[in-house]
Structure formats: structure tokens, C-alpha cells
Structure 1
Amino acid sequence: MGRTHDYSLCGNTNSQFWQSEWGYPDIGVYFANCPSAGHDMIALDYRTPGEPSVVHIDQEVDYRITKLAPDFATFIANLKDESEYDEE
């Protein structure tokens, strides 16, 4: 959140940046990028009425949209610590 840091929701690399500079679809609010350095993003999808779902958009696969959670609370509740994953 904020306006002063580049990667804040209102900073230099906000949703409008991802849409205009990288061609991501105008579906809602982009709030997280992934380790692929901008080739996939996480967003709140406002295309349907009601509470937005959380989606993954993959630039490398023609901006394919995959639903991750029906709402933000569910998305947060299901996050796992990185220590739970095998690094190999």
C-alpha cells in the first residue's frame, strides 16, 4: 500500500503500468508479481459483480488467467511458508 515505493499499489509499477507497459489485461488490481521478473502476476479480478476473486495471469501463455481463490481472505488463509516446500 502507498504511493512512495515503486512496487506499492499506487507507485510507479502499479496496475496501470502492468497494463500499459506489459500488456496485461484490464481486469482489476495487480498486487503481486512472481519470481519470473514480470512474466506472471497475481491480481484481484473484478470482471464479475461482487467480491473479486484472486487470479494468476501468465504472460508467457497469452496472458492465461487461472483462478487461485474465490476471494482475498481465502487466498491469504491458504498461503504456505516457503519452508514447507522442497527446494530441490
Structure 2
Amino acid sequence: MYRPLPDYVTIRKSPIAGLGLFATKKILAGTYIGIVHIVNKNDPADVIRTPLGGFGNHSDTPNCFKINFGQTKTWIGAIRDIEPDEEITWKYTLYEIK
């Protein structure tokens, strides 16, 4: 059954910007949290942002990484343990800016 957010994630006001994703319980390092983007196979320019992807905020010191599974799905996973009430963040950039 599809669930827009994992049971251990909620949406609330963010000190970073607007609304953000927050852990409701400890998330262990290495946990795959969920899909943030899906690419339409018939039109690669058509990227669908999931609820998880829609409320995630950027950080230069993120607690999550992005990983592509195949050519159509981008997931996030925990880089380190994420504590309850901590905002879940990842880097939006695909490259390092120098």
C-alpha cells in the first residue's frame, strides 16, 4: 500500500524555510527513508516530486544522501543517525560549487 510519508516522518514548520520533514523517532544511519523523485520513462523532462521530496529542505551539512535507483527513482537515506524532532535534509545540488 502506498504511503506518502513513512510512519517515522512528519511535516511541520521549518526554521530553514516554510515547511520541512522531521523525524518522529530515531532514524538509524543507512536507513532508506523513501522516494523523493520519479522520472516519467516516456518523457525524462517530466519529473514527479513525491510528498517526501516536496517538503524536504536543503542543507550544506545534510543528514541524508540522495541515491538513484535505475533511471527513474531518486531515494534519500540517512547519512547518520537522525534524532527525534530533527529536521531531515539533503543537498539539492548535483555538483560541488567552487
TM bracket (short chain): under 0.3
More helix by share: 1
TM-score (normalizing by structure 2): 0.25
TM-score (normalizing by structure 1): 0.27
**Which structure's relative contact order is higher, taking Cα pairs within 8 Å and 6+ residues apart?**
2
More strand by share: 2
